[in-house]
Chain A
Amino acid sequence: MKFVVTGAGGYIGRHVSKLLESQGHEVVHATRRAVPNAAWVHFDLEDSAPVALPAGTDAVLHLAAQTTSGDSDESLRVQVRAARALLGEARRVGARFVFVSSQTARADAPTLYGRTKWLIEQEVLGNAGTVVRPGQVYGGEAGGLFGTLLTLVERCPVLPAFLPAPRVQPVHVDDLAQALGSVLVRSDLGSRVLRIGAHESLAFTAFLRAIAHHRVRRARAFIPVPSVLVAFARTMSFGRIAPIERLSSLFRLPLMATQADLEVLGLHLRPLEHGMTRSGRASRRELLAESAATLRYVLGERPGNALTRRHVRALEQLRQGRPVGLPGWAVGMPFLMPLLESTGAVELQWRLDCACALAEATPQGARRFLGARAASQPLGAALGLGAALAREAFWRTVRPVFAILPQRRKTL
């Protein structure tokens, strides 16, 4: 499909363009300056001349925004006008319209940024367009507010812990890109607002600590700073200093109920500790431990190293390298895995199937599962069958008891 992306050179824009291109879509960059080796149309928020969308455009993704505030009312007027023109042009060529807004979007938002986003949202929704409100975007190649925070954490040995702490709902930039990709290809969403961010909010201090711990890999001290100081600094600067404006947009963030919208898109957000790493994935060590455990469980003996690495590679290619979240005891004692097996544990089932298929496609697996070309052993087979069924009966008895024990449940 053909997509026009405004702000394709920005933090989110770069990630989403890369994803769309990797999925075989055609991406036309709508930016101020031409992009080498890419389809391009001229687009400038401040340009009153309307943009010309190429014929055959399936959808427009509007990401471009002014984040540094110039003359406040002028900036708002310019951005709304640009969005309106773009909407008209999209309607003319029959393209769907997707607008990336913000968690701060509200009619009475404390910042100009939030009010601008809200006004554009109204235009978009009135024209059958789709609005995406991301939470706190982080990870990947640094940029945007995440880039600012990353620089802050890298440079300052001591960081502020605002009291009371604002709460954020993080979303990895590649997960957001995936969400936008599925919104773009779908024609059934229409006029609606989709909220994309972690279901459970997180204290902003914990978010900074995660940057320090997983990304910068340095210990950082936090000193309490009353939140009112930020409001004071903002008043003193008359809302003219961009970093303070951005920071203050974090306060009084309305919490978003994201679960239903994530389900609409079939999206599972990666955990923060994985997303914060430079690769954006869990450590390979964690995956290796899980793969070794699942393989050991289905084989009934220690899997070969090449087989374990193959299972990890399959998970990296087909499951974005996400661990399933096996509890420590199951990793350490794989024979206890039946306690976790249930029809509801869909992802664990997938990984066990994957383990069965890969394990049997090895000489080790052929020996375990296929049986050597030995003499006929009716008694051995009958005993083996009986033992296997007795094992199943045992676990079926134990599983309901285990299920009522208090425990920390992870998603499997």
Chain B
Amino acid sequence: MSVPYDVIIIGSGPAGVSAAFPLVEAGLRVAMLDGGAAAGVAPPQGDFLALREADPQQWTWMIGRDFHALRMRDAVSPKLRVPTQAFAFSGFADANRIVAEDFVGVGSLASGGLSNAWGCGVARFSGSEGRFPFALSDLDASYDAVARRMGISGGQADDLSDYFGLDAFAEPPLPMDGAHQALWRGYQGARARVRAHGVRIGRSRVAVLSRDRGARLACNLSGNCLFGCSRGAMYSAAHDLALLRRKTGFSWKPACVVHRFTRQGPHWVVHARSSDGSAVTFEAPRLIVAAGTLASTRLVAQALDHRAELKLQSSPTAAFLLWLPARLGAPRETGFGLGQLSFTVGLKDGCTAFGSTFATTGLPLSEFARHLPLGRAVGMKVLRHLLSSCVVGNLFLPGDLCDASVRLGAGGELVIRGGYAPAVPALLSQARRQLTGAWRALGAWVLPGSFRSGPPGSDIHYIGTLPMTENPAKGQTSPAGEVQGLPEVYVVDGACMPALPEKSHTLTLMANADRIGRLIAGSIQ
């Protein structure tokens, strides 16, 4: 019996598109099933400050005509409140039957998945960070291919060059704003004093173009990052999907939410629902599951009828506000809205924290005002005068410090239970103390009370539920990502990654998907 596809890929996020390229390039027939949600509100076009000063319609992209930002008031991250990004998150938990308890369980039904609204942080894993059941060098070619396709900037010789390990592929960094230039200058003069606190600082390596590349235009520092980039400078898997759609042998099936897959003879049958509610099926001898860690885990656990608890890794996080008193009263300036400087903090027992600092200009003041212990009008006034001399920072700890698990429920739903390991509060306060000391050496203050830890899952880095191991047991995957007990079903997204270090994991996740794509292509030919 012949089927129209050699491989079906479930999901069009960073993992799905990365696995697709080597397969399509090897001449295989690939179908990609995708929730297909697309942006409903266009991102702002033009200079952020100019738009804020003159555009009477700015509320449509800052708040939304349906008051999206106000409806999402209690969501953990400003990203989740942005109307232009609503499509990247909405409907996921219901459609994929994800039930999260004490955990922020986020996913995407959008073409391009969560990468529509990511922070663009990229890094390469070391062997001890990745804990892969294969030689780290097996990822080299994949890192190269994926990084070159995405476009990475921030490459320069600095104290984090080795940590990121990407300078061979990276374009030069984007210009920094005044506050970050001041910090950077300070670091050049006080490197030893900063490093005495266990802190190293370097430019952020980000998947943002500093040079034009095809239809995508280089970042012009217009400052709209949080609200979406109309130039396509920030990488999204949706860009790769557009490239794939031009290739022969690739079929895109949008508006399909997969709810299960079953074995029929030599083939896998994928059962999906299209957006109008009708049932559709697809058939192929091989399946690549890349629906995002949470959705992929549910699909695989359901196919295996595996009801054991599976450990879920996710990075404990914190955020803080850093004040540069020397810049008090500085005028607002538009600039790059994602990470400009990054840092690592060496903590006890060999644990490392990683974080980046961001400009405050692109963030609404009301995001900060309600966390201040002041009356609202006073709070807004304080921020009006203070925020132009501040940068915001975030911080991540390794994912094995998350005490979370998932389990397939009786009704086929995936129940997530979240929590942090007991060591987390002490590690976070150690990081806060060391960072406070390091920034003081640069003339900057962590504002008292501003250092706050986020709830479990709020990093939205989820991995490790179906980890690759040398000798996989039920509910685990082989070094090629193949699910034990489900022949020719490969998991290529975060679910199959064995370890989550504190650093940005997306690039490695994509490189691993590329590697598995190559292995499958090689095995067929």
* Residues of chain A whose beta carbon lies under 8 Å from any beta carbon of chain B: 297-298, 300, 306, 310, 313-314, 317-318, 337-338, 341, 349-350, 352-358, 360-363, 366-382, 384-385, 387-389, 391-392, 395
Contact = CB atoms under 8 A, between A and B. Distances in A.
B378 A388 contact: yes
B458 interface: no
Contacts of A317: 66-67
A367 B53 contact: yes
Interface string B350-392: 0000000000010011100110001111101111111011000
Given A353-B376, A363-B54, A370 B381 contact: no
A356 B382 contact: no
B378 A391 contact: yes
Contacts of A373: 49, 331-333
A314 B376 contact: no
B73 A371 contact: no
A369 B384 contact: yes
B328 A353 contact: no
A384 B52 contact: no
Nearest to A294: B376
Nearest to B73: A353
B374 A358 contact: no
Given A361-B364, A370-B365, 15 more contacts: A338-B375, A338-B377, A356-B365, A356-B369, A363-B52, A363-B54, A367-B53, A369-B365, A369-B380, A369-B383, A373-B332, A374-B331, A382-B328, A384-B385, A388-B381
B366 A357 contact: yes
Contact of A300 (B328, B374, B377, B386): B377
A361 B63 contact: yes
Contact of A388 (B54, B382, B389): B382
**Residue in A300, A361, A380 whose Cβ sees the most chain B Cβ within 10 Å:** A361
A306 B73 CA distance: 22
Nearest to B372: A392
B384 A389 contact: no
Contact of B329 (A361, A367, A368, A377): A377
B365 to A, nearest CB: 5
B70 A370 contact: no
Contact of B380 (A298, A349, A363): A298
B376 A341 contact: yes
A363 B63 CA distance: 14
21 contacts: A306-B56, A318-B71, A341-B376, A349-B376, A350-B73, A353-B366, A357-B62, A357-B70, A360-B62, A361-B58, A361-B59, A363-B52, A370-B365, A371-B331, A372-B53, A374-B331, A379-B329, A385-B382, A388-B378, A388-B382, A392-B374
A358 B333 contact: no
Nearest to B370: A353
A360 B364 contact: yes
- The list of the 10 closest CB pairs from A to B, nearest first, reads A381-B329, A378-B329, A361-B59, A361-B62, A366-B52, A388-B381, A356-B366, A384-B385, A377-B329, A357-B366
Question: Quick one: which of A297, A350, A366, A374 has the most chain B CB within 10 A?
Answer: A366
A377 B331 CA distance: 8
Given A353-B369, A357-B63, A384-B384, A363 B376 contact: no
Nearest to A317: B67
Interface of B: 49, 52-56, 58-59, 62-63, 66-67, 69-71, 73, 328-333, 361, 364-366, 369-370, 374-378, 380-386, 388-389
Contacts of B361: 370
Contacts of B71: 318
A392 B378 contact: yes
A337 B377 contact: yes
A129 to B, nearest CB: 23
Contacts of A385: 328, 382, 385-386
A275 B101 CA distance: 37
Contacts of B328: 378, 381-382, 385
A314 B67 contact: yes
A314 B70 contact: yes
A361 B378 CA distance: 18
Contacts of A361: 58-59, 62-63, 364
A236 B385 CA distance: 80
Given A314-B67, A353-B370, A363-B55, A370 B332 contact: yes
A384 B369 contact: no
Given A306-B56, A363-B53, A371 B388 contact: yes
A183 B331 CA distance: 54
Given A338-B375, A371-B384, A376 B364 contact: no
A2 to B, nearest CB: 15
B332 A371 contact: yes
B364 A297 contact: no
A404 to B, nearest CB: 19
A204 B385 CA distance: 57
Contacts of B364: 357, 360-361
A304 to B, nearest CB: 9
A175 to B, nearest CB: 21
A314 B70 CA distance: 8
Contacts of B374: 392
B140 to A, nearest CB: 46
A360 B365 contact: yes
A368 B56 contact: no
Greatest chain B CB density within 10 A among A338, A360, A392 is at A360
A362 B366 contact: no
B56 to A, nearest CB: 6
A321 to B, nearest CB: 13
Nearest to A399: B375
Contacts of B54: 363
Contacts of A376: 329-331
A360 B49 CA distance: 12
A306 B384 CA distance: 23
Nearest to A334: B377
Nearest to A388: B381
Nearest to A385: B385
A166 to B, nearest CB: 42
A355 B384 CA distance: 16
A391 B54 CA distance: 31
A395 B375 contact: yes
B63 to A, nearest CB: 5
A369 B377 CA distance: 11
B69 A357 contact: yes
A361 B62 CA distance: 6
Contacts of B385: 380-382, 384-385, 388
A382 B326 CA distance: 11
B490 to A, nearest CB: 35
Contact of A358 (B59, B73, B369): B59
